[in-house]
């Protein structure tokens, strides 16, 4: 099983709403990621969690708040977003993140299409 | 700063043609290189991973090669089919204690029946 599951698939939210994106994997991977992808652009890294601890924050605005409740789950809490935050949000996981790990192949979910109105 | 380039941005070929997609990167200090496929509005599907110590990987009709010294990778697709139509992205991860992927902008492939 190489599946990363993201919910919901689509989300429309107003600028004053609070919502959460969810990501789940059962591959035993210890690194999980959030990426943001705008139309016709490559994915851009937002956050990396390694062994349930935040290891990389790519200077993402505080209106995006990640959370890793356990090794299988990753959430992205959204609050006071702007229309320009509309994008495809991708979650990914990999077995390890440290040099020396044999396998750092990244597996992506199908994404959440977010529209901020 | 690592930069990954994929040229051309789009490619259209007739069905059955063998084709090569190119990827170049500026910093040869990479841990691995990964090729992905993305269908419109969908997530990324991992196609092949090449570790820095390897020169190529094969999966079915796909073959990916890696030349770290020249900063190049190629994805070879044999006997292309309309179902291969998608955007193909390459991504590299650096050496060091993180696996941040740096992506190219992708090549949008259209295989004509």
A25 touches chain B (CB under 8 A): no
Among the partner-chain residues B42, B44, B99, the one whose CB lies closest to the CB of A94 is B99
Q: Tens digits of per-residue pLDDT, B40-70? A: 989 999 999 998 888 999 999 999 999 999 9
Q: Is residue B11 helix, strand or coil? A: strand
Answer for the pair A2, A107: CB distance below 8 angstroms, yes or no. Answer: yes
Confidence of residue A83 (pLDDT cuts 50, 70, 90): very high
Answer for the pair B32, A104: CB distance below 8 angstroms, yes or no. Answer: yes
CA distances from B72 to A70, B56, B69 (A): 38, 12, 8
pLDDT at B97 over 70: no
pLDDT at A99 over 80: no
Residue in chain B nearest A50 by alpha carbon: B98
Q: Where are the alpha helices (DSSP H) in A1-117?
A: none
Which of A43, A57, A100 to mutate to test binding with chain B, by most B CBs within 10 Å of its CB? Answer: A43
CA distances from B108 to A64, B60, B77 (A): 30, 20, 14
A42-46, A49-53, A103-107, B21-25: least confident range: A103-107
**Distance of residue B88 Cα from the nearest chain A Cα, in angstroms:** 10
What percentage of residues in chain A have a pLDDT greater than 90? 78
Task: Extract the tokens encoding A51.
Answer: 């062994």
pLDDT of the residue at B92: 92
A2-6, A15-19, B16-20, B99-103: least confident range: B99-103
Distance (Å, whole) CA B40 – CA A57:
27
Task: Extract the tokens encoding B16.
Answer: 């059955």
Measure the CA angle with vertex A91, ends A85 and A94; round to 5°: 145
């Amino acid at each position: 099983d190489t599946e990363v599951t993201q919910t919901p698939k689509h989300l429309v939210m107003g600028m004053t709403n609070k919502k959460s994106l969810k990501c789940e994997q059962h591959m035993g991977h210890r690194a999980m990621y959030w990426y943001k992808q705008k139309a016709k652009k490559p994915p851009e890294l937002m956050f990396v969690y390694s062994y349930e601890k935040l290891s990389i924050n790519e200077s993402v605005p505080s209106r995006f708040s990640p959370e890793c409740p356990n090794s299988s789950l990753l959430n992205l809490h959204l609050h006071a977003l702007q229309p320009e935050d509309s994008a495809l949000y991708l979650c990914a996981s990999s077995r390890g993140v440290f040099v020396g790990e044999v396998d750092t192949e990244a597996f992506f979910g199908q994404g959440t299409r977010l529209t901020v109105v | 700063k690592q930069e990954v380039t994929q040229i051309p941005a789009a490619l259209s070929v007739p069905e059955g043609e063998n084709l090569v997609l190119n990827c170049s990167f500026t910093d040869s200090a990479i841990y691995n290189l990964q090729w992905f496929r993305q269908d419109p509005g969908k997530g990324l599907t991992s196609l092949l991973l090449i570790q820095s110590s390897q020169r190529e990987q094969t999966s079915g009709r796909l073959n990916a090669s890696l030349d770290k010294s020249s900063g190049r990778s190629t994805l070879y697709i044999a006997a292309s089919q309309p179902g291969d139509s998608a955007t193909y992205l390459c991504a590299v991860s650096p050496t060091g204690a993180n696996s941040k992927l740096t992506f190219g902008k992708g090549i949008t492939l259209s295989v004509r029946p």
